Structure 1
Amino acid sequence: MSQPLTGVKVLDFSTLLPGPLCSLLLAEAGAEVIKFERPGQGDEMRSYEPKVDDDSANFVLLNRGKLSVAIDLKSPEALSQLLPLIREADVLIEQFRPGVMDRLGLGYAALAEVNPRLVYCSITGFGQHGPRASEAAHDLNYVAASGMLSLTAGNDGAPVLPPALIADIAGGTYPAMINILLALRQRDQTGRGVHLDVAMADNLFTFQYWGLGNGALGDWPAPASGLVTGGTPRYQVYRTADGAFLAAAPLEDKFWDNFVALVGQDANALAKMSPHRAIEAVAAAIALHPVAYWEDRFAGQDVCTSRVVSLEEARHEPHFQARGLFDRSVTTAAGGTLPALPVPVDAAFRRPDRSAASPALGAHNQLLNR
């Protein structure tokens, strides 16, 4: 079977993470992705460390299976060079501040005149309009601005750095992918494209549904107080006797009862304590034994508890190996190889070749001449 996006042409003017990861997902589902980069330098992500041959590992992972065209978008002839590709494109992704593409002659209104079927996706931090639309910011700033970062505060009241680029991926890449697919479906019905306004900060509020619900009833969440932000012994990270950690999430009573019994605590006694005291009691019990003891004790039991492992350990965990997460590969232009980035595209939809290349800068400039 052909892939679901076979025949879809994507023009990607984005850099770094949100847009490139979105176009990677589209490419894995069969789309032809043409990546436009600055001559000489290319996507800034190419310069990051560590390097695999000439490019960073980050760039190689995010640009598997794409084509690269090096072009100076400010040059007088850029628009005329791009017009043939724009006329036949299905999707355009851009990640500049609002107004930049308009100044380059590549804004949605202008391109919709050339290609009314174009699905034009703009990914920004704060959206195409509003008081903060042109504000310079990065992932951490969007997480802070949306209220999410405040809920990571520990006992000293200081928020901790998130371990992932939540706004870029969860607020940018995934909503962009979803809306591009919706727009393509709508185009099937109407014959017309649309301008998509994907604002990373906006989309972080969805992840705080419970806090917004509580807040609407006058109970705004605070650090170490909510159900999933440290306010209960049923959703905590506990230290073991040997300094390892257990992530315990036995929220439902059936799991909690199993967990408490195996930890050697009394559920009724814990229920009569304040949440803080109950957390301390469970923590004291967990701290009596090393992590191996608890792994053995919890094995085969429904307790929703896992050892906190490193990324290296998780990468080689037998379960994920059995799932084939790292069975595909990406090669550099010079022939170096890395395991491909696992992506949330079902195996039934992904490209059939298990190895694909990351492009050299400008390797496909001949596309400007066809």
Structure 2
Amino acid sequence: MAGPLSSLKVLDFSTLLPGPYATMMLADMGAEVLRVEAPDRVDLAKVMPPFDGKFATSFSYLSRGKQTIQLNLKEPDAVACVKELVQDYDIVVEQFRPGVMDRLGIGYEVLRELNPGLIYCAITGYGQTGPYRDRAGHDINYLALSGVASHCGRADSGPPPLGIQVADVAGGSHHAVMGILAAVIRRQKTGQGSFVDISMTDAAFAMNAMAGAACLAGGQEQVREGALLNGGSFYDYYQTSDGRWLSIGSLEPQFSARLLDTLGLSEMKNFALSQNAEHQQALKAALAEKIAQKTLSQWQDIFRDQDACVEPVLSISEAAEHPQLKARNMVVEVDRGDGTLQRQLGQPIRFL
């Protein structure tokens, strides 16, 4: 069955992670994606180890389902080629700093003259406007400036460098896809294209969600380990006797009661429901002492049939073998380009 986006054609000028992840999502859902690769510019995603075959594993993954053309955009012939191609494409995705595509002669105003229905998505660190529009940055900087890092991590050690790129992927990639598809719907009604301006800092700021609402409307600034969901309550991770970790998210009364009954801490049920910081810290200490008495495997056996919002912290390789993720086909095998199958993360959006 053709994917739901099989009628769309995407011209992808992006590199690294945010843009390529967004266009991979579009390709996974059926869009035809042509990646424009500069012959004289190294895409770091292509050369960052580890490698599997000819390319870096991340590059092979992000290139899934795409075709590639090499064009030196500083050459007149390449610019002419882009102008010809864009007349047959629905969407352009680019990740240069603001103004770069204009200087190359293939900016939005030029391209929409050739294709009035064109949807042009620019993904940048800070957006097309504002004093930081031309400033360099990476995921860690966007999380810092957006306020996200200020309430993540431990009170005594500060914000952690996260293992995933939240601003790049959840901010840049996902918001780009949402913006593009919203523009597609509008074009269906009006026939007009759009310029979709995605700032990874804007997106990260918006993802503060609950903490942001409390701060802006309620005047309450969230601090590390100071709120219900960031370490200020028993909703946390606990180390097991073998140095592994167990997540406990038993916030609702029925779940906390089941948790504490299972652990032999029934007398602390009122502490679980209390908003008193001392009660929460006392409960955390009791939970930490209990969880430290058994291995992760033992706790998995104990909570296997307990609906208490308690789950093990798994490595990626362990998660890939978890029966839930296997049942959801979240690991797929894809030809890496030489006939050899490569295991990759699957597409999480399902159409039934």
Q: TM-score range by the shorter chain?
A: over 0.9
Q: Is the 8 A contact 2:83 2:106 kept in 1?
A: no
Mapping 1:146-157, distance limit 5 Å? 146-157=146-157
Write the distance in 2 (CA, Å) between the matches of 1:185 and 1:87: 19
Q: Does 1:277 align with 2:282?
A: yes
Q: Which residue of 2 aligns with 1:45?
A: 45
- The one of 288, 294, 302 aligned to 1:297: 302
C-alpha displacement at 1:115, in angstroms? 0.8
- Give how far 1:168 is off: 0.8
Question: Does structure 1 conserve the Cα–Cα contact (< 8 Å) formed by 2:247 and 2:311?
Answer: yes
1:82 is matched with which residue? 82
**Does the aligned pair in 1 maintain the 2:82–2:106 contact within 8 Å?**
no
Distance 2:339 2:82 in 1: 30
User: Displacement, 1:328?
Assistant: 3.6
Task: Quote the residue 1:319 is aligned against.
Answer: 324
Which residue identity lines up with residue 337 of structure 1 in the other structure?
A: L
Tell me what 2:291 maps to: 286
Aligned-pair CA distance for 1:287: 1.9
Deviation by residue 1:194-224 (Cα, 9 ceiling, x = unmatched): 0000111111123211111211212110000
Equivalence map 1:121-140=2 (5 Å): 121-140=121-140
- Structure with bigger RCO (C-alpha 8 Å, 6+ apart): 1
Q: CA deviation at 1:17?
A: 0.9
Alignment check: 8 A CA contact 2:10 2:34 kept = yes
* Counterpart position of 1:232: 233
Give per-residue Cα distances to partners, 1:119-160, cap 9 Å, x unaligned: 000001111101111110011111111111122231423211
Q: Partner letter of residue 200 of structure 1?
A: M
Q: 8 Å contact 1:330–1:340 — kept in the other structure? A: no
Distance 1:268 1:90, change over 3 A: closer
- Measured against aligned partners, the alpha-carbon deviations of 1:52-104 in whole angstroms (never above 9, x if no partner) come to 22211111111112111111101122221221101111000000000101111
Give how far 1:40 is off.
5.1
Matched residues, number: 346
User: Structure 1 residues 268, 61: CA separation in 2 closer, same or farther (over 3 Å shift)?
Assistant: closer
Counterpart of 1:97 in structure 2 is 97
Q: CA deviation at 1:248?
A: 0.2
Pair 1:66–1:283, CA change in 2 (3 A): same
For the residues of structure 2 that align with 1:290 and 1:59, how far apart are their CA atoms? Answer: 37
1:77–1:293 Cα change, 3 Å: closer
Partner-residue secondary structure (3-state), 2:84:
helix
Q: Percentage identity across aligned positions?
A: 37
2:229 partner amino acid? V
1:222 pairs with 2:201: no
Cα distance in structure 2, aligned partners of 1:7 and 1:285 = 56
Unaligned segments of structure 2, at least 5 residues: none
1:37-59 per-position Cα deviation (integer Å, ceiling 9, x unaligned):
11155533221212222211111
Q: 1:44 to 1:295 in 2, by over 3 A?
A: closer
Q: Counterparts of 1:345 and 1:292 in 2: how far apart (Å)?
A: 31
8 Å contact kept, 2:332–2:346: no
Distance apart, 1:319 and its partner CA? 2.2
1:237-286 CA-partner distances (Å, limit 9, x unpaired): 11122322110000111101111111221235634743222211221222
Is the 1:34–1:67 contact (alpha carbons within 8 Å) kept by the matching residues of 2?
yes
Partner of 1:307: 312
TM-score using structure 1 length: 0.89
Name the CA shift for 1:83/1:237 in 2 (closer, same or farther; >3 Å): same
Match of 1:183 in 2: 183
Cα distance, 1:177–1:208 mapped onto 2, change above 3 Å: same
Tell me, yes or no, if structure 1 residue 60 matches structure 2 residue 60: yes
The equivalent residue for 1:356 is none
Per the normalisation by structure 2, the TM-score is: 0.93
Aligned partner of 1:368 in structure 2 is: none
Distance 1:26 1:180 in 2: 10
Structure 2 CA distance, aligned partners of 1:284 and 1:320?
A: 31
Q: 4+ residue stretches of structure 1 with deviation over 6 A?
A: none
In structure 1, distance between residues paired with 2:223 and 2:88: 51
Q: Report if the CA contact (8 A) 1:168-1:200 is conserved.
A: yes
Q: Which runs of 5+ in 1 are unaligned?
A: 349-370
Q: 1:15 Cα shift?
A: 0.4
- Alignment-mate amino acid for residue 138 of structure 2: H
Q: Is the 8 A contact 1:62 1:341 kept in 2?
A: no
Q: In structure 2, the residue corresponding to 1:212 is in which secondary structure?
A: helix
Does 2:350 correspond to 1:346?
yes
Cα separation, 2, equivalents of 1:100 and 1:40? 16
CA RMSD of aligned residues (A): 1.7
